[in-house]
Amino acid sequence: NEDLDVVVPKQEALKTIVSTVTRRNVTLMNFVTDAFADFERTFERARNSGKIKQNDPYLSFPQVYNSYQNPKNLYENYFSLIMREFENTFRDNKKIISPQDYFNQFLSYIEKLTPTFPITYTAWHRSRFSSIFTSGLAIDLAGLAIDNDELKENFINSENFNFYKNSCVRHGFSIVKNSPWVIVADL
């Protein structure tokens, strides 16, 4: 939010629709699913009227490769891995003979870990281990690697890119600069 506090969507504010292209469920914030459904219909009308090329692998029939991811589930998986690593690291440690020893070893482990790997839900959510998809506002339309500039260049050089860009603006989406196939509801 504006105070830089972590905000998690309420489950009742999420809405699931079926993508007209992939027939897969797409879950997003309720107003974003409505905007995306209109976005898909715009592409369908453009294909039917010949305004866009129909052979573009991503921008003829926009497909959802990624949408809302439940942050609580992601954090639980992340924290389980951290705990499993702790258990594996200290299982054979002869210093642990009481609950207090276990607790002391755990605190020592956490002190070493936290500069790189956040432990709390809030810190995790602000870290590189969380993603924009936990907001319910973002949609990945290509599923491409973000670190591959050639893929970005090919995507942007598509004959349908200008139509895509205009459609995003018209339907209330911004395009993520470093991964142009990811669109985010522009609040």
Q: Which of these, 65, 73, 67, 63, lies nearest to 16 by C-alpha position?
A: 67
Residue 71, number of CB atoms within 10 A of its CB: 20
**Rounded Cα–Cα distance for residues 155 and 103 (Å):** 51
Tokens of 36: 């995306």
Measured on CA atoms in the order 153, 41, 169, 132, is the torsion positive or negative? negative
Helices (H), 53-98: 71-90
Query: Tens place of pLDDT for every residue, the chain, 187 residues?
Result: 778 778 889 999 999 888 777 777 889 999 999 999 999 999 999 999 999 999 999 999 988 999 999 999 999 999 999 999 888 877 666 666 778 888 888 888 889 888 899 999 989 998 999 999 999 999 999 999 999 999 999 999 999 999 999 999 999 999 999 999 999 999 8
